[in-house]
Amino acid sequence: MKVKEKILRVMLILMIGLSFYLTYLLWAGPSNHDLISDNSKEVVKKEEKERKPIDIFLPLTLRYEVRETNYMSQNETLLKEVQLAINESRFTKIKEKTFKVEEYQTEVKSKRGIELAYSFLFPLTQYIDLFDLDFPLETQTSRDFTFSKIQIDFEKRKIRFLNDEQLRIVEATIDSQLSPFTKLLKEVETNWILVEPSPLSNNLFVSVQEMELKKYSYISSMRPYTLFRDAFFTMPANVRSTNNSLDVHLFDSAETLTIQQNSSEFQFQGTIDTKQPFEIYQTSFDFVREISPSYGSTRMIDQVRNTIDYRIFVEGFPIFGSFSEGRLFAYFSDNKQIDKKNITIDGNLNSLQIPIPSEELIQLPTSHEVVQKLEQAGGEIDQIKMFLIGYKWENIQDTGVVDLIPQWYLKYGESWYTYDKLYEKIVEEKGRGNGF
């Protein structure tokens, strides 16, 4: 065995041992022992600077069109820099338009420009507030407008917010230089994916070349429960605890945090004061911004009705786990008091810590092929809201090591699936419908 390989093996063994030791220290203690010692009643200091809305609420993908050729990217640096360029732009002649289907498709087609996309309908007023955008909306219909895509049309010098479902657009003239956008496309290094419009859907772009992506490996460890206690509880210093062989319970008044020792999953339940009307983005952001620096690069991936979904991103790719690994999922419900909401947050203490070198490549089919197979199985292609490359969290048993496996993830209807799981779901539902 080469000396280098021996050194790497010894380092890996030491890091795994350290991970298990830290885990033991976190959970060790007699039954019914109060987990909060006298020395820990002070709120834990923030480890790093709190993150800002631009770090959390970025779009998920960017499409670049030039000379009738389209490229897609999930590069986080590029997305953030483009969003910053939008923030610094000047806009005039803001208008709202509604179209028929054919007119809409003509209006949104550009010869040269970029398109940012979310997986859900984002209220324009809340987007403007979160990013502190100088974009005054003068009509009530504009203030009620929601969108899933943002276009920067270089030829017509327009910014457009698109609602494909309602065939509505809010647009404005860009009254400042376009060079910040075009410069970023040249200077930010990214791996572009060649895409084309899908023949099965007007608003869907699909990849046309197979890809090879790296499999990542990490040593994982549990974040201290104090991180979540201090972020979630109103009065962290007053929190008490009980524990048994299965769960640990932290509580204070109407707030509780339950941690499952076997899976490290947790659930927080509490009551919060809210503004009227209720703003789910800002309210949930107040919880996430303190956790994110220590938990990982956390960003919003989805928002459906009274729920909002945040994920850890690695190299611009979201993490999907079977036990809420890399996830903070918030659910809000009505309280008897009009100025309050009930909140539930699900997540997992485990996070990625130390990367392990890996050269293994995983081949992904084209998303064009994926769409074709789903359509042949009986899927409703118009229900596909977004394609993303994501990474599946796989725990390697008894090692403290996590493999991150690249896969296609699709938002179909209101839920996220891997291609395989969605295909199985569609086939099963069609089978039941046919009496099988």
Which candidate, 216, 394, 244, 226, places its Cα nearest to that of 315? Answer: 216
Tell me the residue ranges of DSSP E strands in 35-145: 61-66, 69-73, 91-98, 112-123
Q: What is the mean pLDDT of residues 19-37?
A: 42
Q: What is the mean pLDDT of residues 292-316?
A: 94
Residue 5: pLDDT over 70: no
Q: Cis link prior to 30 (omega < 30° from 0)?
A: no
* 102: CB partners within 8 A, 6+ apart: none
CA distance 241 to 248: 7
Predicted confidence at residue 419, as pLDDT, reads 96
More confident call, 246 vs 434: 246
Digit-coded pLDDT (tens) for 71-82: 999 999 999 999
Residue 309: pLDDT over 60: yes
Residue 344: pLDDT over 80: yes
Q: What is the pTM of this model?
A: 0.88
Domain with CATH 3.30.310.160 in the chain: 217-354
Burial 325-354 (b: 16+ CB within 10 A, else e): bbbbbbbbeeeeeeeebebebebbbbbbbb
Percent of the chain beyond pLDDT 90? Answer: 74
Length of the chain: 436
Predicted confidence at residue 208, as pLDDT, reads 95
* 226: CB partners within 8 A, 6+ apart: 40, 44, 236
Residue 433: pLDDT over 70: no
Percent of the chain beyond pLDDT 70? Answer: 87
| Beta carbons of 124 and 137 less than 8 angstroms apart | yes
Residue 29: pLDDT over 50: no
Predicted confidence at residue 22, as pLDDT, reads 46
Rounded to 5 degrees, what are φ and ψ at 286?
-60, -30
Burial 383-393 (b: 16+ CB within 10 A, else e): ebbbbbbbbbb
CA distance 281 to 58: 12
Q: What is the mean pLDDT of residues 167-171?
A: 97
Residue 237 DSSP label: G
Digit-coded pLDDT (tens) for 367-384: 999 999 999 999 999 999
Residue 335: pLDDT over 50: yes
Q: What is the mean pLDDT of residues 163-185?
A: 96
* 327: CB partners within 8 A, 6+ apart: 309, 310, 311, 312, 319, 320, 321, 346, 347, 348
Predicted confidence at residue 50, as pLDDT, reads 75
Q: What is the mean pLDDT of residues 83-89?
A: 97
| Beta carbons of 310 and 301 less than 8 angstroms apart | yes
CATH of region 217-354: 3.30.310.160
DSSP states of 323-380 as a string? T-TTEEEEEEEE-SSTTEEEEEEEEESEEEEEEE----EEEE--HHHHHHHHHHTT--
Bridging pattern class, strands 384-396 and 317-320: parallel
Predicted confidence at residue 47, as pLDDT, reads 43
Distance from the Cα of residue 178 to its chain's centroid: 28
Digit-coded pLDDT (tens) for 371-427: 999 999 999 999 999 999 999 999 998 888 999 999 999 999 999 999 999 999 999
| Beta carbons of 300 and 236 less than 8 angstroms apart | no
Residue with token string 């296609």: 408
